[in-house]
Amino acid sequence: MPITRPPDILPSEITPSEIYRGRREFMRSTGALALAGGLGSLAGDATAGAKLAGTRPGPYGTSEELTPYKDVTTYNNFYEFGTDKADPARNAGSLNPHPWAVQVDGLVKRPGHYDLDALLKLAPLEDRIYRMRCVEGWSMVIPWVGYPLDELIRRVEPLGNAKYVEFTTLNDRARMPGVRSPVLDWPYTEGLRLDEARHPLTLLAVGLYGETLPNQNGAPVRVVVPWKYGFKSAKSIVRIRFVEKQPESSWMSAAPREYGFYSNVNPDVDHPRWSQSRERRIGEFFKRKTLLYNGCGEQVAGMYSNLDLRKYF
Ligand code: MTE
């Protein structure tokens, strides 16, 4: 990955019942592509499960078998709803992500408040199937819907001294039972170097499997950074701030020896407590080898040519 081959069927062309049966099985049983029903804007309002119509195949993606919808939406890390993998699906019903707005500010010429409708209209929505690798040693293949984060970044016009982007996510005790526990410093924050944030693989995601994001996957808007461990992909974002100095993420402050700023997927740099050389694809029995930059090396290695990946893990 990423392979510049469009998927044989767009996730947005699969209806929810087919989603549960899995893409492969669906294709086998129909033996044909489902043709897109009318293209257009959002069908229904943007709650989890609303179909995102009019998406188009993105230029990057893998053609590996998708992780079933059920696993993508019931095996999650979203500590604001609890630390067990099943907690987010169980508890995130209270998130109620509407209305929603993302504040974009800091070192930019045109700061602003973008409500969800504005974000959805900012750029054409793309289907992109990305392999995702969690730092804990498991991986999934997820069909995201979104567009390059750079579509937003170029509109706000970062100033010359903007070197990093900081993402802040929702921190609301009333809607997020997990933030009563001090397991992390809330709000959950993450950061990217500006060139990483502007990289064409970095997505602002609003959906998966052709539908709006389920709450447990970071509704209504999150980032997806496929060559980094999953924790860099912040969920339920409320603020995007452009800064000069490298921001400190929640994971860096919780355990600086274990979680660095870069967090590029790297089979040669072990986590202090476990190896990163192999991973378990959810749904598979045997482990597979982890790929440098999660297989995106062709696209992203150039950004790190002068970086000691052991020091800057
Ligand atoms: N974003 C927030 N706000 N809170 C979190 O706990 N967990 C991260 C990341 N984004 C997390 C978050 C981690 S550790 C992973 S692996 C991915 O979300 C999981 O995304 P998924 O559940 O959609 O697969």
- Ligand 1 pocket, residue 80 CB under 6 Å: yes
- Strands (DSSP E) contained in the chain are 56-57, 101-106, 112-115, 126-133, 138-148, 164-169, 189-193, 203-208, 211-212, 222-224, 237-243, 278-281, 288-289
DSSP symbol at 26: H
- Ligand 1 pocket, residue 67 CB under 6 Å: no
Taking alpha carbons only, the member of 143, 140, 142 closest to residue 126 is 143
- Ligand 1 pocket, residue 130 CB under 6 Å: no
Q: How far is the CA of 77 from the centre of ligand 1 (A)?
A: 5
- Ligand 1 pocket, residue 87 CB under 6 Å: no
Q: How far is the CA of 259 from the centre of ligand 1 (A)?
A: 14
- Ligand 1 pocket, residue 233 CB under 6 Å: yes
Query: Among 70, 78, 204, which residue has the most ligand 1 atoms within 8 Å of its CB, making it the best to mutate?
Result: 78
Residue 75 Cα: closest atom of ligand 1: 22
pLDDT digits (tens), the chain, 313 positions: 554 544 445 444 544 445 444 554 444 433 332 323 322 333 333 456 899 999 999 999 999 999 999 999 999 999 999 999 999 999 999 999 999 999 999 999 999 999 999 999 999 999 999 999 999 999 999 999 999 999 999 999 999 999 999 999 999 999 999 999 999 999 999 999 999 999 999 999 999 999 999 999 999 999 999 999 999 999 999 999 999 999 999 999 999 999 999 999 999 999 999 999 999 999 999 999 999 999 999 999 999 999 999 999 9
Other CB atoms within 10 A of residue 306 CB: 5
Residue 184 Cα: closest atom of ligand 1: 6
In this structure, whether the domain defined by 11-304 belongs to CATH 3.90.420.10 is answered with: yes
Q: How far is the CA of 296 from the centre of ligand 1 (A)?
A: 20
Integer Cα distance of 179 and 171 in angstroms:
7
Residue 140 Cα: closest atom of ligand 1: 24
Side chain identity, residue 247: P
Q: How far is the CA of 216 from the centre of ligand 1 (A)?
A: 9
Pairing relationship of beta strands 101-106 and 237-243 according to DSSP bridges: parallel
